[in-house]
Amino acid sequence: MPASHAGVTPGPEAAFSAPAAAPAPVERAVRGLPAAAELSPQEWPHQALRELIRTGGCTGSALRDLLDAGVSINRDEAALLLQACLANPELVATEPLRRLQWEFAPELARLQGRVDGLEARLAELDATRFSPITSLRGDVRWWLGGVGYGGNQINRAANSYGGQPLRDAFVFNTDVRFSFTTSFDGQDLLRLRLRSGNGGFSAFRADLAPTLRLSGLSPGCSASRPEACRNDLLQLDKFFYQRPLGPNWRVTLGSRVNQKDMIAIWPAAFDDNEILLSLFSKGGAPGAYSDVKGAGLGFYWTQRTDADAGVGWVVSAVTVAGAPASGDPAEGGLFSAGSRGASSLQLGYQAGSWAAAAIYTLNQAGALDRAGLTPLAAETWPSSQPGLGGHVHAFALTGFWVPLRSGWFPALTLGAGFNRAVYSGEDGTVGGRRPPQLAESQSWMVGLNWYDVLVSGSELAFAIGSPVSVSRYRNAEGQQGAADRSLQMELWYRLQPTDWLTITPGVFWLPRPRGQLTAAGTAWDTTPLPRDRAPPSRPSGPCSSCASASETPCPARSRHAFCQGAVVPSLWHSLFCCWPVARRRLRPGCRPPPSACAPGGMDSGWSCCRCGRAAARCWPAVR
């Protein structure tokens, strides 16, 4: 190595053109250069480099401050600065510059070797195929609780309702999920989920209250498919592949996939790992977000006007066949009338902490999950019974907002859905009657979530809403109108004592869970009109004195003949018009039943047409 030239002062030819900025000392550490001898401010290389910076303008280096301050630097740091200056194409080759290159030739060679090695390694890494990564996530949920039933339709002595035993025992149910997630290139996703549970015969999935379906219990088990209720069987719950198509598109394909896996915006801020009732996991619109599971294909497009915040419009188009494995086109298959599928088109907008979406879903006959439907809505859903063909048009508006900070103001979820059943008009009968001519239903929800309540990481939530209940109904026998209203409420508080454990105590209340079919043993086809009797063109006889079409009969649940036929001025009065059975009088505002109609007759919707004889001469309520 040549000796250093201490005490040599550079001449006037040491002025250089402005060099490029030298890298910071951290670059030396990245390249792994070993320690080198120090250059003091009195040595010529130190002075020459300082002059280079002063006259040539080699700026942008952290070494400049050290040189200007007269602080010693080591030879490797000096070589880094010189290399950066040499990269400047406008640098004039002068004698002092050549002397500096000769002085630091070993350091420059070693440094260049490090740079070449690093670039080669980066090129090798870029050319290397992404290594597939698979992760396993296990979730175990324990449900400990019970259901209590109330109402005058329950046989307390036999602990039954309509001849069915009540499932009101205290139970301990389990739901286990194992999710395998694989990525082949870092952008795609292959997911396989296995699931098992023992909630098939729990009160939380009882047919006595079909609107009661706790989210996640016993996969594949429903009141409409009792043969699928098998406890503790390991099932293939999900299997699908998802990958991007360019910067804005994403496609999903699977043999076992549902709507939630493919759609861009799921409509609720509620976490379905914690909620109790399934209605609230679907934004209050179980008809539009029917979440049919089967073979599916889905696309969604995102505008992404702000990539960091995820702001912009989104469009989703998905289709799922609920029975893809069946070879009978009447019972299943792909793209057939019996596929039991659902196709959805969603338009939404998301802006950081809030999102809103409108969705339309075409549900084929048989695409039905009774969770979140009243019995009347479920039984009039196409193909819920043999001979009941058709499809359902479902619409929904949903949205949620989550505050940026925890506080008194909660996260808000709003949603409403509307469904219209269209029947195929087949000649077959259901329960001895022709299929309905019209059935419309609706649902809604409001959900509130408070975060970090009392304890950091906790969550308090309350939700209220209406399950899918029939709002308009008309059948071939001339019956129409519906009194199918129902409500659902839930309240829960989630604690997370550790990263792997959450505890969520909660309560729920379902007033009138069976809607219009609350009376024990009733069904949608129990009171047919004689087919040879049709409503005349005008009301006549005792119906001509009807006061108003808005008057509503007292509910039959009072079990009092005098109260069952009473006339009340509004629906609100009808809920509270009759005193308990022991008191044989009406509340204020209610009138006795008309003398022309005997109590206990058929309710056509007009308060004065409750008896069978008068019913044939009365207009329907909607006229």
pLDDT classification of 358: cutoffs 50, 70, 90: very high
For residues 466 and 363, state if they share a domain. Answer: yes
Residue scoring higher pLDDT (88 or 609):
88
pLDDT score recorded for residue 622? 28
Mean local confidence (pLDDT), 323-350: 81
For residues 159 and 214, state if they share a domain. Answer: yes
Using CA atoms of 10, 12, 16, 18 in order, give the dihedral in degrees to the nearest 10. Answer: 110
pLDDT classification of 361: cutoffs 50, 70, 90: very high
Count, residues in the chain: 623
pLDDT at 75 over 90: no
| Torsion sign over Cα 540, 546, 552, 557 | negative
Mean local confidence (pLDDT), 228-247: 82
Residue 522 in any domain: the answer is: no
- Residue 101 domain boundaries: 12-127
Please choose, from the candidates 36, 113, 118, 24, the residue with its C-alpha nearest in 3D space to the C-alpha of residue 72. 36
> Judging by beta carbons within 10 Å of its beta carbon (0-12, 13-18, 19+), is residue 128 exposed, middle or buried?
exposed
Contact present, 494 and 462 (Cβ < 8 Å): no
Residue scoring higher pLDDT (55 or 300):
300
Residue 513 in any domain: the answer is: yes
pLDDT at 332 over 50: yes
Strand extents, DSSP E, 92-149: 133-145
Q: Nearest 5 degrees, angle CA 242-CA 356-CA 252?
A: 10
Give the integer Cα–Cα distance in Å for 322 and 364.
9
Please choose, from the candidates 519, 510, 518, 524, the residue with its C-alpha nearest in 3D space to the C-alpha of residue 212. 510
Residue identified by tokens 């594949």 is 220
pLDDT score recorded for residue 547? 34
Question: 202-206, 364-368, 388-392, 591-595 — which is least confidently predicted?
Answer: 591-595
pLDDT score recorded for residue 396? 94
Number of neighbours of residue 532 by Cβ within 10 angstroms: 6
Residue 253 in any domain: the answer is: no
pLDDT at 139 over 70: yes
Q: Are strands 235-245 and 189-197 parallel, antiparallel or unpaired?
A: antiparallel
pLDDT classification of 88: cutoffs 50, 70, 90: low
pLDDT classification of 346: cutoffs 50, 70, 90: very high
pLDDT score recorded for residue 527? 43
Contact present, 256 and 265 (Cβ < 8 Å): no
For residues 327 and 218, state if they share a domain. Answer: no
For residues 419 and 288, state if they share a domain. Answer: yes
Domains held by the chain: number: 4
Could you write out the DSSP letters of every residue in 80-94?
A: HHHHHHHT-TT----
pLDDT at 470 over 80: yes
Last residue of a domain, one of 488, 517, 546: 517
pLDDT in tens, 385-438: 666 778 899 999 999 998 888 788 899 999 999 999 888 755 455 555 667 778
pLDDT score recorded for residue 567? 44
pLDDT classification of 533: cutoffs 50, 70, 90: very low
Question: 146-155, 270-279, 504-513 — which is least confidently predicted?
Answer: 270-279
Helices 105-127 and 95-103: crossing angle in degrees, nearest 10, is: 70
Residue 502 in any domain: the answer is: yes
Contact present, 133 and 191 (Cβ < 8 Å): no
For residues 568 and 598, state if they share a domain. Answer: yes
For residues 22 and 139, state if they share a domain. Answer: no
pLDDT classification of 471: cutoffs 50, 70, 90: confident
Contact present, 188 and 242 (Cβ < 8 Å): yes
pLDDT at 168 over 90: no
For residues 123 and 140, state if they share a domain. Answer: no
pLDDT classification of 125: cutoffs 50, 70, 90: confident
Mean local confidence (pLDDT), 158-166: 71
Residue 523 in any domain: the answer is: no
For residues 569 and 608, state if they share a domain. Answer: yes
pLDDT classification of 237: cutoffs 50, 70, 90: confident
This prediction has a pTM of 0.64
For residues 141 and 36, state if they share a domain. Answer: no
Last residue of a domain, one of 245, 276, 305: 245
pLDDT score recorded for residue 428? 53
Residue 559 in any domain: the answer is: yes
Residue scoring higher pLDDT (452 or 80):
452
Question: 112-116, 245-249, 415-419, 565-569 — which is least confidently predicted?
Answer: 565-569
For residues 407 and 461, state if they share a domain. Answer: yes
Residue 152 in any domain: the answer is: yes
pLDDT score recorded for residue 608? 36
Residue 605 in any domain: the answer is: yes
Mean local confidence (pLDDT), 291-315: 79
pLDDT at 530 over 80: no
pLDDT score recorded for residue 253? 93
pLDDT score recorded for residue 518? 78
For residues 470 and 379, state if they share a domain. Answer: yes
For residues 449 and 552, state if they share a domain. Answer: no
- Express the helix, strand and coil content of the chain in percent, nearest 5 each: 20, 30, 50
Last residue of a domain, one of 127, 155, 170: 127
Number of neighbours of residue 14 by Cβ within 10 angstroms: 20
